[in-house]
Amino acid sequence: MNKITPLHKRGDPWFDDGNIVLVPEDSSIAFKVHRDFLSRHSEIFKSMFELPTPTSEVPLLDDCQVVPMYDLPFELSNLIKALYDGTGPLEDFLYTAGILRLSTKYFITRLRIQAIQHLVQTTSHIHMSILYMSSTSLGRTNVQVIIPSVLYFLTLYHLSDLLSGNHVKLQVDHPSCPSADLSPQDLQAYTIMYQERIQIILRFIRHTCGERTAVHGCQSSVTCTKAFTRVSSRLSRTWRVRTGPLSYMVQVSDEVAEHDGICGPCKRPFRQDVTTLREDIWRRLPSVVGMSSWEELTKNDMPKP
């Protein structure tokens, strides 16, 4: 005789014409869905639903087979709804992190790629920090393409603050909020990227600005050279440890463009050189922590169909 499970709270989604019920572990919430639909999107789901179970031991709920799930109800609900209706509020970082985790776990390539595509465009420093915590501590998502930029932004925070996990964004009461634990490998990568970030700033101040000479066609080579020297001197006194070099370079370029002591012929190549330098720094960022190129990382994490 089949085992009738106690009535659970109907979760979202719950389809009256569904033919299988998913029940997260240690949860009173159940999701009634369509076996074939989920199987079509995930080989893992298909295999789970096909596992042989003695007929007499199959638990039933609402006349449907019950399948235990080892996921957070909140994240499982979001995953199922994303399969049926498309992804939800990707701008909600923790929502996206949950989708990434479960789409990776259940080999749902479409949702995984959508989540990764959104995350690589994330520019919020603290979101990048949470993303690193999530991907290393809880995620088990094996997403490599986000790591170089995440590490870059992570180094804008003091290590002691990261280890304590006391930032307000890390204390949000949310099912998908990650742990603040960092592994020895994480700490090593953080340190290497931190040192490189500082060196980038110093090289920019001392060489790109401080050793700048007048270009051909300069209207006053002595005046422009002295002006760049003064700019470098001021920057060397005012930069901060938490300065992000990529945005910092744009700010300096804009300041030089407005500088009365530098002529137009010298301003234009300086802006172009800064643009080229920023592009080169970004291109080389993965190699700082021993990773493949952006192109290779993108190819591996977001393969084209």
pLDDT digits over 16-62, tens only? Answer: 999 999 999 777 899 999 999 999 999 999 988 886 665 556 678 88
The band of 280, judged by pLDDT with boundaries at 50, 70 and 90, is very high
CA–CA distance, 69 with 31 (Å, rounded to integer): 10
Burial 112-150 (b: 16+ CB within 10 A, else e): bbbbbebbbebeebbbbbbbbbbbbebbebebbbbbbbb
Q: Which long-range contacts (CB under 8 A, 24 or more apart) does 217-220 make?
A: 217/265, 218/263, 218/265, 218/266, 219/263, 219/264, 219/265, 220/263
pLDDT digits over 250-278, tens only? Answer: 999 999 999 999 999 999 999 999 999 99
Closest listed residue to residue 265, CA positions, set 301, 224, 208, 222 = 224
How many alpha carbons fall within 13 Å on the CB side of residue 140? Answer: 5
In this structure, of 65-74, 149-158, 213-222, 231-240, the range with the lowest mean pLDDT score is 149-158
pLDDT digits over 95-152, tens only? Answer: 888 888 899 999 999 999 988 888 877 655 455 555 555 444 434 678 888 888 888 8
Asked whether residue 297 carries a pLDDT value surpassing 60, the answer given is yes
Domain boundaries, the chain: 3-70, 87-182, 197-286
Parallel/antiparallel/unpaired status of strands 3-4 and 20-24? unpaired
Asked whether residue 1 carries a pLDDT value surpassing 50, the answer given is no
In this structure, of 86-90, 113-117, 198-202, 228-232, the range with the lowest mean pLDDT score is 86-90
Average pLDDT, the chain: 84
CA–CA distance, 305 with 287 (Å, rounded to integer): 27
* pLDDT score, position 172: 59
Kindly state the percentage of the chain with pLDDT values over 70.
Answer: 82
What integer is the mean pLDDT of 287-297? 95
Name beta bridge partners: 3.
59
DSSP-derived secondary structure letter, 33: E
Distances (CA, A) of 10 to 61, 76, 295: 11, 13, 45
Asked if residue 216 lies in contact with residue 241, where contact means CB atoms within 8 angstroms, the answer is no
